[in-house]
Amino acid sequence: MPVIRDIMSKIVVSVRPDATLLDAVKVLTKHHLSGAPVVSTDGSVVGFISEPNLMDVLFDEESRTRKVSDYMSEEVQMVHVGDSIATAATMFAIYGFRRLPVIEDGRLIGVVTRRDLLAHSLVSTEAFAEPLMELIPALAEFA
């Protein structure tokens, strides 16, 4: 059974917590991303910065020099390198994420996206259980 390691991207664009908001905007626009993990110097994920977090730069010039750590989301959903692909599929379906940081031994080693899962579906016949059916088994009775 394939795991996250098999489909993730090992090239990860990340931002440091001490970067400025303007630096984060530059990184996201350069790489055509809507968000990126915020990673400490030891490689651990400490947050996530996304376009909605950065909108202040449009309205408040002073915010451009403020630190990413003041604007990032600190609660980050992540997957482990050995987790099943179904785990990521369920998280994407339930939470609407576009990408999930992939960690191993507490350090960022990759990212898995919805597109990675869709590409996997082109080479696999594996079907995943419907997320809500897994969470609320009583719903399966009505399916």
* End-to-end Cα separation, the chain, in angstroms: 26
Which range in 98-102, 130-134, 139-143 is most confidently predicted, on average pLDDT? 98-102
Q: What is the pLDDT of residues 25-39, one digit of tens each?
A: 999 999 999 999 999
Contact 17, 72 (CB under 8 A): yes
pTM above threshold 0.85 = no
How is residue 117 annotated by DSSP? H
Domain borders along the chain are 4-142
pLDDT at 5 over 60: yes
* Confidence category of residue 14, pLDDT binned at 50, 70, 90: very high
Q: 4-142: what fold?
A: CBS-domain (3.10.580)
79/88 Cα distance (integer angstroms): 7
So what's the pLDDT on residue 83? 93
Among residues of the chain, what percentage have pLDDT more than 70? 87
Kind and range of the H or E run holding 36: strand 35-39
